[in-house]
Amino acid sequence: MNRSTPHRLVKNADMHTTIRAMREEAHKGKKDLAVRSLVENLCKNIPSGDYSSEVLACYYWVCRNIRYMRDIDKVEFLKSPHRLLATGTGDCDDMSTLLASMLMACGNQCRFTTVGFGKKKPTPFSHVFVQARTPHGWVTLDPVSNKITKDMHQNTSVFAGFPV
């Protein structure tokens, strides 16, 4: 990806290739000063040591400020966290990559979870979200499904988790 291209084309985009690219972008993003500055600003009024509230602050910011937009049909693009902050639109893998980079920028362990839906006719992996380890255990953070996360995830037929 060069500076004039807001996306990274993931060639031969199977699930593992896409997750590997997301992981690379998330690790670059956690060191990006724009990402770190955003996280510091979000968390500045949270009491020190309240790590669960830091996780929620990052999650709610993504929910409020990033608009979901699907990729071009049959083309897998992946935006870097920096680019997603600039454009404000992305799909589930873009949003998950940004959220993971924000969470790691404030010291959290994360994993990407891919899922497919449908109890009667399971679909292949078609969605990804982030889970963060908090003092209370792993928490699912899915800004795409947002308020219907519970309903959406009850319809999950297949899933796999990948450390970031």
Asked if residue 3 belongs to a domain, the reply is: no
pLDDT at residue 146, as a whole number: 66
pLDDT at residue 37, as a whole number: 98
Long-range CB pairs of 138-144, under 8 A, 24+ apart, other chains included: 138/111, 139/52, 139/55, 140/113, 141/55, 141/59, 141/99, 141/103, 143/59, 143/62, 143/63, 143/66, 143/68, 143/95, 143/99, 144/68, 144/91, 144/92, 144/95
What are residue 23's phi and psi, to 5 degrees? -60, -45
pLDDT at residue 123, as a whole number: 64
Asked if residue 54 belongs to a domain, the reply is: yes
pTM score: 0.87
Asked if residue 2 belongs to a domain, the reply is: no
Asked if residue 114 belongs to a domain, the reply is: yes
pLDDT at residue 6, as a whole number: 52
Q: What is the pLDDT along the chain (164 residues), one digit of tens a residue?
A: 445 445 565 655 788 889 999 999 999 999 999 999 999 999 999 999 999 999 999 999 999 999 999 988 878 889 999 999 999 999 999 999 999 999 999 999 999 998 887 666 666 778 899 999 998 899 999 999 866 667 776 776 677 789 89
pLDDT at residue 2, as a whole number: 44
Q: What residues have CB less than 8 Å from 154, skipping those under 6 apart?
A: none
CATH of the domain at 105: 3.10.620.30
Asked if residue 42 belongs to a domain, the reply is: yes
What is the span of the domain harbouring residue 83? 8-163
Asked if residue 23 belongs to a domain, the reply is: yes
Q: Give the DSSP letter of residue 147.
A: G
pLDDT at residue 11, as a whole number: 55
| Domains held by the chain: number | 1
